[in-house]
Structure 1
Amino acid sequence: MNLGLSLDYDGGGLGKGASVTLLVDHAAVVSGRLERTVPFRFSMSGETLDVGVDTGSPVAPYGHDFRFTGRIDRIDVTVDPHPADLAAAIAEAEMRAALGSQ
């Protein structure tokens, strides 16, 4: 099975909306809207993108006993480049966040 997500960002700055489509075996199965997106990063303190288990801090008081026990053969992530103005805004926001945590 191949799962995918297509995200068409509205543009115009950080944290704006997007149209999203969930793909299963390369076929669109559902589409919708995100009125807001994450402006740049979830965390500057080492939170990671995990597959099969969450190794970071929980967002609610629950245990880490939900480990995936199946088999993940392969994960491919394709990220299109940001437009130059958005890339510059992300870099500036990340710098402000890093300096603010000093």
Structure 2
Amino acid sequence: MAVGRRWVSENPIPTGNHQVRMEFAYDGGGLAKGGDVTLYYDGEPVGKGRVGATQAMVFSADGKTDIGYESGTTVTPDYTAKTSRFTGTINWVQLDLGTDDNDHYIDPEERLRIAMSRQ
């Protein structure tokens, strides 16, 4: 379910060991497109939402893949870097990028349009 600009499970994850997964189905067709988000635990879908657009080319200097805590800019103002630390145990993290069909390549005119929009 969507809560502000984030998605949460429709059911809380019970205590114990569980697999937690997020899938992002990119719309494709170029840079900065949106996609559908589905949240899972133990293989069952528990929440879903929609991302309207993704970051095209420029990322913040502190943007990285933090696991279990946020060390830089937070994704949402609902928490801070100091209050984001997960206190449980994370046994495994796996990032799958899927098959690259090269639809992210853009022609020179589109590159110019993106550069001009950043001015």
Q: TM-score, normalised by structure 1?
A: 0.65
Partners of 1:81 and 1:41 lie apart in 2 by 23
Q: Deviation at 1:85?
A: 2.7
Instruction: Tell me the residue number matched to 1:55.
Output: 71
2:86 paired residue number? 68
Separation of aligned partners in 1, 2:24 and 2:83: 31
Between the aligned partners of 2:87 and 2:99, the Cα distance in structure 1 is 34
Superposed, 1:1-102 pairs within 5 Å as: 1-40=18-57, 42-43=59-60, 45-57=61-73, 62=80, 64-86=82-104, 88-89=105-106
Moved beyond 6 Å, runs of 4+: none
Q: 1:70 to 1:18 in 2, by over 3 A?
A: same
Q: What RMSD over aligned residues (CA atoms) do the two structures have, in Å?
A: 3.1
Displacement of 1:15 after TM fit? 1.1
Higher helix residue share: 1
Structure 1 unmatched runs, 5+:
98-102
Give 3-state SS (helix, strand or coil) of 2:103's partner: helix
Distance 1:26 1:41 in 2: 33
Distance 1:42 1:75 in 2: 22
TM-score (ref. length: structure 2): 0.57
When residues 65 and 7 of structure 1 are mapped into structure 2, their CA distance, relative to the original with a 3 A threshold, is: closer
Task: Work out the number of aligned pairs and report it.
Answer: 91
- Structure 2, unaligned stretches of length 5 or more? 1-17
